């Protein structure tokens, strides 16, 4: 058994080399930047991120177990579930995904640090440009004003705020799905490569290059009251139905003023990582299920609209995110395709050399 397992592990690792190389390179760049600025990433942030993945995993396990029991209706439910999960844990595909999972658990705290460090590298000077772009697209109006007749109702706003928070499930439950569930294996590597790239290239490099704070922080940070009417609506709606995002915006501003660099901290508008992550998930899940693809396309659209309606982003933030994420997805697919052809070509001579002639 060991003789059969080792080559399988080697082949699986070889196929994942681009993911590990890209992730390691990005980590090395982050560490070099942190070292230059005397900033460290403590184990507390990594442990906090690991706990979030653990909670997501437990919730998915309960959901999955419930579906299994409903579908199969076994006479001995406990033994049935134990046998099912024992087989799954012994699946080689599960074992192959553990190193990538470890990388992802460590990764998000690094991104949070980078996001909170944007003011060290660049001033928030791009808001006027993005406001002008939005007004050029919407014939002189801000994007939130155009969608306000449809979405400007407290109950609708509260629902959009809940949906905006539910987006976090894409990072945790969604990533676990592509890592460990067999249906997601068909696109696992491209999703993982895209995941690392969007958070660093789009959420890190591009966010620093186009540093902006977004409508909700425009007045507190820049003293510009261009979106005071939108914030007044959100505050009034919050008096009727809790608008969850307002509390988070207050926390982000408080952390910004205090110079906090914890998990989830940092202010940046362009590009929108909510839209980028929703776009990445849709590109991946549509390869697994047509119906789920349609559902998450609708989710992507609502997240984009919500990012504007809830005053986090300008409409162009989401537009740039969609285009950039599509580009990252295509590049990831091309890179993996090139690597697989290279690996297959290298494997052929080894196969011919190691083949024992039949007697």
Q: Is 50 exceeded by the pLDDT of residue 281? A: yes
Average pLDDT over residues 71-91: 87
Q: Has this prediction a pTM greater than 0.75?
A: yes
Mean pLDDT of 175-187: 85
pLDDT at res. 347? 59
Tens of pLDDT along 2-26? 445 545 666 777 888 899 999 888 8
* 136-168 pLDDT tens trace: 999 999 999 999 999 999 999 999 999 999 999
Q: Which residues of 109-123 are buried (b: 16+ CB within 10 A; e: fewer)?
A: bbbbbbbbbbbeeee
pLDDT at residue 351 above 50?
no
* pLDDT bracket for residue 172 (50, 70, 90): very high
Separation of alpha carbons 286 and 29, rounded Å = 32
pLDDT-derived band at 312 (thresholds 50, 70, 90) equals very high
């Amino acid at each position: 058994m060991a003789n059969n397992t080792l080559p399988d592990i080697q082949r699986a690792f070889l196929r994942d080399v681009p993911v590990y190389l890209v992730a390691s390179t990005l980590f090395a760049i982050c560490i070099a930047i942190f070292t230059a600025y005397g900033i460290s990433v403590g184990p507390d942030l990594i442990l906090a991120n690991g706990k979030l993945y653990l909670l997501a995993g437990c919730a998915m396990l309960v959901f999955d177990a419930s579906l299994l029991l409903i579908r199969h209706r076994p006479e001995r439910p406990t033994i049935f579930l134990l046998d099912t999960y024992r087989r799954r844990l012994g699946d080689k595909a599960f074992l192959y995904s553990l190193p990538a999972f470890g990388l992802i658990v460590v990764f998000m705290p690094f991104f949070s640090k980078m996001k909170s460090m944007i003011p060290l590298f660049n001033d928030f000077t791009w808001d006027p440009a993005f406001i002008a772009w939005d007004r050029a697209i919407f014939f002189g109006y801000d994007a939130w004003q155009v969608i306000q007749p449809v979405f400007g109702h407290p109950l609708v706003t509260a629902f959009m705020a809940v949906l905006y928070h539910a987006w976090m499930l894409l990072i945790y439950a969604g990533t676990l799905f592509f890592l460990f569930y067999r249906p997601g294996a068909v696109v696992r590597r491209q999703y993982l490569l895209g995941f690392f790239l969007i958070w660093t290239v789009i959420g890190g490099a591009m966010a620093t290059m186009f540093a902006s704070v977004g409508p909700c922080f425009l007045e507190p940070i820049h003293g510009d009251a261009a979106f005071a009417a939108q914030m007044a609506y959100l505050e009034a709606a919050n008096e009727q139905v809790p608008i969850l995002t307002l509390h988070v915006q207050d926390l982000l501003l408080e952390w910004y003023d205090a110079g906090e660099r914890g998990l989830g901290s940092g202010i940046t508008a362009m590009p929108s990582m909510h839209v980028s992550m929703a776009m990445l998930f849709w590109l991946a899940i549509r390869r697994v299920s047509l119906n789920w693809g349609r559902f998450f396309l609708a989710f992507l659209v609502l997240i984009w609209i919500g990012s504007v309606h809830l005053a986090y982003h300008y409409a162009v933030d989401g537009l740039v995110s969609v285009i950039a994420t599509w580009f990252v997805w295509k590049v990831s697919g091309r890179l993996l395709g090139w690597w697989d052809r290279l690996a297959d070509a290298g494997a052929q001579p080894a196969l011919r050399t190691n083949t024992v002639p039949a007697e």
